[in-house]
A and B are shown apart, each in its own frame.
Chain A
Amino acid sequence: MPAVEVIEVKRHYQAGATTVRAVDGVSLTVEKGEFMAIAGPSGSGKTTLLNLIGALDEPTSGTIRIDGVDLAGLSRRQVADLRRDKVGFVFQAYNLIPVLTAAENAEYVLELQRVPRVERRKRISQLFTELGIGDLVDAWPGKMSGGQQQRVAVARAIAALPAVVLADEPTANLDQVTGQALVDMMHRLNHEHGVTFIFSTHDPMVLEKAERVVRLVDGKIASDQRKGETARQIAAEAPAAR
């Protein structure tokens, strides 16, 4: 079963008299264990597509399945539970909860899942050690650097072993070295633990690491390229496919 299935998804909205086609008929399948980037210029619909896959937004039409679960028709509570159990998020601005320590932030989803405290602590401790932030367990977000916060955010995203981790421009607020280290870390998690990652990015360094790159232009997939393959020009093929 794929981690993510996106079938003919559109997200249109009104901006005054204009209809903005943020995502316009995207179909995409992401298998478990993929390390995929969604690339494209600003306004191409990367973040909107990520929000749709993460069930933060609802499509105007089309079908989205996360780990086999169709998002259509789910109640707000069921959607919240789906996000809790199947999706991890890494935000551009880290978005750690400032009143929680690093470990408490990372434990947040596990607590929502009612994982016993001892098990939570054990899992977070191992994860922090693996991510090289073992000394930050009791640190407050306000006292951490951007790179440290983003590592904690990654720990939070993968702690509950979701079907997919969605990272919206995760390196955009980081310097080159820190960004590189973060992407290496995520790549390692992908290789060693099979965590499925989908990034939105226009950072060449991240794109270079990605094993699959989907390019969006004007809300449509322009190309879908796996490492070692030549870019498949989806937009050019589209009329024939239809």
Chain B
Amino acid sequence: MLGLLTIAWRNVWRNRRRTLISMSAIGLGLALVIIYSGLIARMMGDAKEQLDNAGLGHLEITAKGWRANRSPKLAIDDLDGVVASLPLPPSAEVSARLLSRGLLSSARANQAVEVHGVDWGQERAVALYLREVRQGAVPADDDAQGILVGEQLAERMHLKVGHKLRLMVQRADGEMGAALFRVRGIFHALSPSIGQRRVLISRAAAAELLGADRGAHQIVVQLERAADAAPVAATVRAKLGAELEVLTYAQIYPIFEAMESLVNGAIVVASVFVYFLVGLGILNTMLMSVLERTREFGVMQALGTRPGGVVRLIIAESFWIATLSVVLGLAIGVGVSWVGSRTALLDFSRQMGEGIEFSGAVLSAVFHTELSVRGVLLPALYVYVMALVVALYPAWRVSRLRPVDALRAT
């Protein structure tokens, strides 16, 4: 004759309309969870990518106390020795910076700026905007007068490639220092604040300007995965000792962690809500289906079906409803997520500009989705778990019926 699953499959299609409505509701709920989770996962991924966009890195190494008062005197003197001794994975990128605040003056305007003295090659690996030079080019390594400015700053100060600028800073010895530079390139940064405040010169030029040795105020380390930051930081900290301070991006910008737990919480709440509705849907379908077949279950018991056999049949029916719903939910959820991973699913750039800056993190105003095996399979698995759990109640109810009572049911 037939296996349990075949009988259950036929039972599921006895009321075609009810089954279709249930599987549509459950499937759409599942699709919603997949798409929503994918959007959030991509948003978080994008937010972490901002570490690269903003040149923040996953780890920061500074002289002890530098982050608290940013004194130009607090530099890492033995830079080469420190960098060489860093216990980092081979894929890690490292860039050393001399940092200062200064005043940038052109013939027509003045603007307060953050000065980054960098080694162009290394900096390019940790700061995305150095790969986004839209006009001109990154200065050559031996170009002591080359300066890069952001698009917003260039616009505000009416700067073009080749324009001459005067940069004034406070030197390490407390005196004012100034030097002339020439705009070699204009970069594009997703973060408007970087675009309008940051200027980059070579580290050698910065050392000269600041009256410092060729050390660095900050060593930035970019890892392959943001999740590795804490363990790598612990190893580096142990190696370097107390004279140098090692911080992870999460310690410097707690907003990333806060955002992550906030959105994870939002996913949990939304998922619980959706799965609750999914559970109600399955329970309703199963209860209606089971209660209108009470007499039939009585017949099955009269013929010798054990109580466990009835329970298994009802669970098998629930399994099929879950499977149909999961197939529909995956088709819609994966389909939309796939499209969303290639083209923008939501685009607020007209209303909000290219990026939305939020306490140091910059989120793209164009939303994509992330399609991952885990992000698809886990929600589907939860539908099965929910289907199994809610089927137990009607199954238990029917299995407790005495055959004589079940047979009397109309």
Contacts and interface: CB of A to CB of B under 8 A. Distances in A.
A56 B403 contact: yes
Contact of A77 (B7, B308, B403): B308
B385 to A, nearest CB: 27
Among B299, B301, B304, B309, max chain A CB count under 10 A is at B304
Main secondary structure of the interface of B (DSSP, over half): helix
Contacts of A76: 306-307
A51 interface: yes
B164 interface: no
A132 interface: no
Interface string B303-344: 111111100000000000000000000000000000000000
A83 interface: yes
B179 interface: no
Interface stretch (A35-43, A100-108, A143-151, A172-180): A100-108
Contact of B304 (A81, A98, A117): A81
Contacts of B7: 99-100
A112 B305 contact: yes
Contact of B300 (A51, A57, A91, A97): A97
Nearest to A120: B1
B307 A99 contact: no
B10 A91 contact: no
A176 B400 CA distance: 39
Main secondary structure of the interface of A (DSSP, over half): helix
A89 B1 CA distance: 19
Given A98-B14, A99-B10, A99-B11, A80 B301 contact: yes
Among B11, B303, B309, B404, max chain A CB count under 10 A is at B303
B307 A111 contact: no
A57 B303 contact: no
Contacts of A219: none
A57 B404 contact: yes
A97 B402 CA distance: 18
A156 interface: yes
Contacts, number: 72
A109 B402 CA distance: 19
B295 interface: yes
B296 A97 contact: yes
B2 interface: yes
Interface residues of B, number: 23
Interface in A57-79: 57, 76-77
A8 B100 CA distance: 106
B303 to A, nearest CB: 5
Given A84-B304, A89-B303, A97-B299, A104 B1 contact: yes
B302 interface: yes
A117 B6 CA distance: 15
B313 to A, nearest CB: 11
A100 B6 CA distance: 10
B407 A100 contact: no
Nearest to A115: B1
Interface string A94-130: 0101111001100111111100010010000000000
A211 interface: no
Measured as residues with beta carbon below 8 angstroms from the partner, the interface class of chain A is 20 to 34
B297 to A, nearest CB: 10
B14 A54 contact: no
B304 A80 contact: yes
A108 B3 CA distance: 11
Contact of A112 (B10, B304, B307): B304
Contact of A108 (B10, B14, B303, B407): B303
A156 B402 CA distance: 21
Contacts of A218: none
B351 to A, nearest CB: 55
Interface string A161-193: 000000000000000000000000000000000
A83 B404 contact: no
A104 B6 CA distance: 12
A53 to B, nearest CB: 12
Contact of B404 (A51, A84, A91, A110): A51
Contacts of A100: 1-2, 7, 10
A56 B404 contact: yes
Given A95-B299, A99-B14, A80 B407 contact: no
Contacts of A111: 1-2
B1 A83 contact: no
Given A108-B1, A111-B1, A83 B299 contact: no
- Counting from the closest, the 10 A-B pairs by CB-CB distance are A84-B304, A99-B10, A57-B404, A107-B1, A56-B404, A56-B403, A80-B306, A95-B299, A111-B1, A83-B304
23 contacts: A54-B302, A56-B302, A57-B402, A57-B403, A77-B308, A80-B304, A80-B306, A91-B407, A95-B296, A97-B300, A98-B14, A99-B7, A99-B10, A99-B11, A100-B1, A100-B10, A104-B1, A104-B2, A108-B1, A108-B300, A108-B303, A112-B305, A112-B309
Given A95-B296, A98-B296, A100-B2, 20 more contacts: A51-B404, A56-B402, A56-B407, A76-B306, A76-B307, A77-B306, A80-B301, A81-B304, A85-B304, A89-B299, A91-B299, A91-B407, A95-B407, A99-B14, A100-B7, A107-B1, A108-B303, A112-B303, A112-B304, A112-B305
